[in-house]
Amino acid sequence: MILYTPLSETDIFPQSADEFSNRQCISCDGKMMIADRNTDGTYQVVQLLSTDPQDFLDQRYLPGSVLN
């Protein structure tokens, strides 16, 4: 199927609520972050919530990195 439309994808295919059901706000090493819980129990970082600019350079908390 090919769609050619100015509408956004979510307007045509509404996203289901449970798509984000595994997204949680967690605390790791005293740093708050929004992370997706994987099926194996690990967390994948989505967004780091910190005011310290150095935290964003920490490789462990880069968006997409997996936490145990």
Partner 1 sequence: MKKEQEEKKDDQSNPSSLVQKIQSLGQTNVPQAPDSNIHVLSIIGQVEGHVQLPPQNKTTKYEHIIPQLIAIEQNPKIEGVVILLNTVGGDVEAGLALAEMISSLSKPTVSIVLGGGHSIGVPIAVSTDYSFIVPTATMTIHPVRLTGLVIGVPQTFEYLDKMQERVMQFVINHSNIKEEKFKDLMFAKGNLTRDIGTNVVGADAVEYGMINEVGGVSEAMAKLNELIDSTKNAESQVIQ
Q: Does 66 bind partner 1 (CB under 8 A)?
A: yes
For partner 1, the closer CB: 5 or 16: 16
Binding residues for partner 1 restricted to 10-39, rule: CB under 8 A: 10, 15, 17, 19-20, 23, 25, 32
In what side-by-side order are the strands of the sheet with 31-37?
23-28, 31-37, 43-49, 66-67
To the nearest whole angstrom, how small is the minimum distance from the Cβ of residue 54 to partner 1? 5
Distances in Å between the Cα of 28 and the Cα atoms of 1, 6, 12, 18, 19 are 43, 41, 37, 24, 23
Chain residues that interact with partner 1, rule: CB under 8 A: 10, 15, 17, 19-20, 23, 25, 32, 49-54, 57-59, 62-66
